[in-house]
Structure 1
Amino acid sequence: MFKILVTKMSLMPAALVCALTCSLFSSSLYAQQTAEKNIVESKQGLVNLRIEVPFVELHSGPSAGYPVVHVIEQNEQVTVLVNRTSWLKVKDKRDNEGWLHEDDLFGLSQQGEAIAQTEISWQDFQNRDIESGVMYGDLEGANFYNIYLGYHFTPVFSAEISAGKALGNISDSNLFEVMLISQPLPDLIVTPYIGVGAGIIDTKPHSVLADSEKRDSTLMSAAAGVKYHLARNFLIRAEYKFSLALTDRDDNEEIQTWKIGFSVFF
């Protein structure tokens, strides 16, 4: 009887150790499963943000003192990885990571003041009202300088007035024209256009001969060209124009002009 009691007492520590081991293993397994579940839930719970302002700058750290490493443009989506006070660490679709301030998402400075958004969009280019520019080219072998001012009634139709100066070896000319422009495909990146117009050309020959007198003629013109939105409110324009100078002589004078230049719009 005494031996049996001693044997049972000697087996109790072993059973207790086994029970504790099983309990710890079960707890560890449950904790691991819970942690894995939390990781999955956190991944599923990541917040995606859509950038509504023209652009957002990503810094290398959670402060304005860190350098800008990436720029996220409007309508792109980013995933929030870390939220530290008012700074968010995000990742874009190209896996670029960086920090942005919460106020950047609302077009505000870090002092809460509204930021003036000067970014010009493609929509602004299509809906422009005023366009003005300078151009340079060739008018029948003479150097041609031209300035113009245009008004857009719609994205398709516009009117413009222009003044030009042609400097040649034989004569110099001053041109003044009014044109009606049509852009039949305003949604294209490189926008083609056609135009018709009328004006006057004032020609002054360099020669002092009697038959080389100064003459004024009426111009009838047709033009074709392209415009390209370069950046912000700047565009590049190239044009070919065929003009007919109506003279009092037997034959009217044909004039061809090639020119290219830069313009701004408002």
Structure 2
Amino acid sequence: MRMPTPRSIRVLCALVLSLSAALPAAAADEAPDTQRLQVTDPYIELRTGPGRGYPIFFVAARAEWIEVHLRYTDWYKVRTDGGKEGWVHRRQLVTTLTEAGASRSFRDIAFDDFLQRRAEFGAGWGHFKAEPMLKFWAGYKLSESIGIEATLGQVQGIFSGTNFWHVNLQLEPWSDQRISPFFAVGVGNFKNIPNTSLVAATPTDAKLSNASLGVRYYLTERFVLRADYSIYTAFLNDTRSGEYRAITGGISFFF
């Protein structure tokens, strides 16, 4: 088995960095519902923008009521009963009370985004048979438990290199859980290119089918850890096929 090449590691890192950079632009969301909360700390500070670099322009005192309208990462846009609008950090809202007198977990609000996610992009590293594999995926949820996903993969073998792609139908029956298993089946293409040093070796271009079992774990904000185990079948010709097993672990970003 070969160790990951520097080029593949750079590709994986570049994807992670580029998707991370895109998160702030996509992180300004409507709050799940407009919420009315009562301040229980001595005061909370309202800033002119979602960040500590913005100045404090107003202070809401204990027992005042505020409404939460928008969220941008860990910052929430609120409005006081007096009509003042500003941004408050999540930590200052943790102790607030709802109109029913109960506390509202602002960690749950972030988890609500995970439950309502639609698009997911990710990358992972694993093994295809006994060789190192780099894999990228992009998925879209059609409903709470059904989605489609496209995958690109590259296997770096000792005697050959393999590129493949496939499109899967994915079922996630417990998608409302922090730890959520999923099942997938799909079809695609498999292309194996032998090293030029091998004599009389010919490339293989074959249709591919696969079945996968995996699990997602909601980590924080818009990050999800993911692992999956897959069985690939390459239809080499009318009478012969090859079966390969793969395991992958990686990280996804959802929007």
**1:113 aligned to which of 80, 85, 91:** 85
Where 1:137 maps in the other structure, the secondary structure is strand
Which contiguous aligned blocks of 4+ residues in structure 1 show a shift greater than 6 angstroms?
A: 53-57, 116-119
Q: Could you tell me how far 1:185 is from its partner in structure 2?
A: 1.6
Q: What TM-score does the superposition give when structure 2 sets the normalisation length? A: 0.62
Between structures 1 and 2, the one with greater helix share = 1
Corresponding position: 1:145 with 2:134 = yes
1:56 Cα offset (Å): 7.6
Q: What residue is the counterpart of 1:229 in the other structure? A: 218
* RMSD between superposed Cα atoms in Å: 3.2
Q: Which of 181, 198, 214 in structure 2 is aligned with 1:192?
A: 181
C-alpha separation in 1, matches of 2:227 and 2:148: 17
Q: How many angstroms apart in 1 are the aligned matches of 2:165 and 2:36?
A: 43
Identity %: 24
Shift of 1:209: 3.7
Higher relative contact order, structure no. (Cα contacts within 8 Å, ≥ 6 residues apart): 2
Higher CA-based Rg? 1
CA displacement, residues 172-221 of structure 1 (integer Å, 9 cap, x when unaligned): 11111100000112222210100000010111112544431111111110
What CA distance in whole angstroms lies between the structure 2 residues aligned with 1:153 and 1:117?
33
- C-alpha distance 88-134 of structure 1, shift in aligned 2 (>3 A): same
More strand by share: 2
Q: Does 1:87 align with 2:78?
A: no
CA distance in 2, matches of 1:115, 1:155: 32
Q: List per-residue Cα deviations over 1:18-60 (Å, max 9, x = no partner).
A: xxxxxxxxxxxxxxxxxxxxxxxxxxxxxxxxxx4799895xx
1:219 counterpart residue number: 208
Q: Give, in angstroms, the shift of residue 87 of structure 1.
A: 1.8
Provide the residue aligned with 1:134 in structure 2.
123
Number of positions where the alignment pairs a residue of Structure 1 with one of Structure 2: 183
Given candidates 146, 153, 170, the residue that maps to 1:181 is 170
Letter in structure 1 aligned against 2:78:
L
Normalising by structure 1, what TM-score?
Answer: 0.60
